Amino acid sequence: MSDSIKINRLNGRVAIVTASTEGIGFAIARRLASEGAKVIISSRKEEHVSNAVNKLEREGLHVTGLVCHVAKSEDRKKLFAASERLGGLDILISNAAVNPEVVGVLNTSEKAWDKIFDVNLKAAFLLSKESLPQLRKSKYGRIVFVSSISAYQHFLLPGAYSVSKTALLGLTKATAMQLGPQNITVNCVAPGTIETRFSTILTNTKSGMEWCLSKTLLGRLGKPDDISGVVAFLVSDDGGFVSGETIVASGGMTCHL
């Protein structure tokens, strides 16, 4: 994140960011906290949570953290109990995803299919549903799902992962329609290839890297902060009239779709 960003659009708001101990989720947590939000960080591993919280606390940011595997109901309950303790939830960022089998869709095992849909789609649905009692009380209720460029065109990852990301586009529309009258916006961000551990399946070979770069107009991979700023816009008052939309932040990959 640029040191020159010193805006406080989210002062006093409480945000949950799932899967936020590294990569895109961590960058989103950091950005929302640096704009004034109290942010609850989480992921599956205690050690990752405490490392991420310590790092952001050292930057003077207001964060707290706990273990939450998004597909586990008891973990999600703890997440919402934490936001309740902070005064009630304003912002939910549903960011977790897995891709245990990188194979063609019909070669996916049933076990992997279930895991992908449990984490990438069903948990997004359940988190949204379970956040409602608190979001309805907020004047600034916001939900953002993290999808992918592969939602639109499965050439990057031609399997169940991409199917789950396409489904998130539908979940965004349907949820936004239902929650609009309750003054809660629901949007989605679809990143292109972003430099994180997750994307190394695409970028860890010279040919894979060259192929990814050839698909962008800007000639570079994205950084996690290329996504966090988009999310910060969507959850701030600046994004208050945007709902049911997906913003693609891919360095221009859609021109190749």
The residues annotated as belonging to the active site are 161
Q: Is 48 in the site for ligand NAP (CB under 6 A)?
A: yes
Nearer to ligand NAP by Cβ, of 57 and 75: the residue is 75
Nearer to ligand NAP by Cβ, of 140 and 143: the residue is 143
Q: Is 74 in the site for ligand NAP (CB under 6 A)?
A: no
Nearer to ligand NAP by Cβ, of 25 and 159: the residue is 25
* Cα distance between residue 130 and residue 239, in whole Å: 23
- Choose among 25, 2, 174: nearest CA to 92: 25
- Choose among 234, 147, 153: nearest CA to 194: 147
Site string for ligand NAP, 101-120 (x = CB under 6 A): ------------------x-
- For residue 30, how many other CB atoms are within 10 A of its CB? 24
Q: Is 148 in the site for ligand NAP (CB under 6 A)?
A: yes
- Choose among 76, 70, 78, 73: nearest CA to 98: 70
Letter string b/e over residues 45-65, b meaning 16 or more CB atoms within 10 A of that residue's CB: eeebbeebbeebeeeebebbb
Q: Which two tokens stand for residue 101?
A: 């089998």
* Cα distance between residue 121 and residue 127, in whole Å: 10
Site string for ligand NAP, 11-30 (x = CB under 6 A): -------xx-xxxxx-----
Nearer to ligand NAP by Cβ, of 94 and 243: the residue is 94
Given the rule CB under 6 A, which of 82-90, 134-142, 196-204, 236-244 is the region that contacts ligand NAP? 196-204
Contacts with ligand NAP by CB under 6 A lie at 18-19, 21-25, 43-45, 48, 68-71, 95-98, 119, 146, 148, 191, 193-194, 196-199
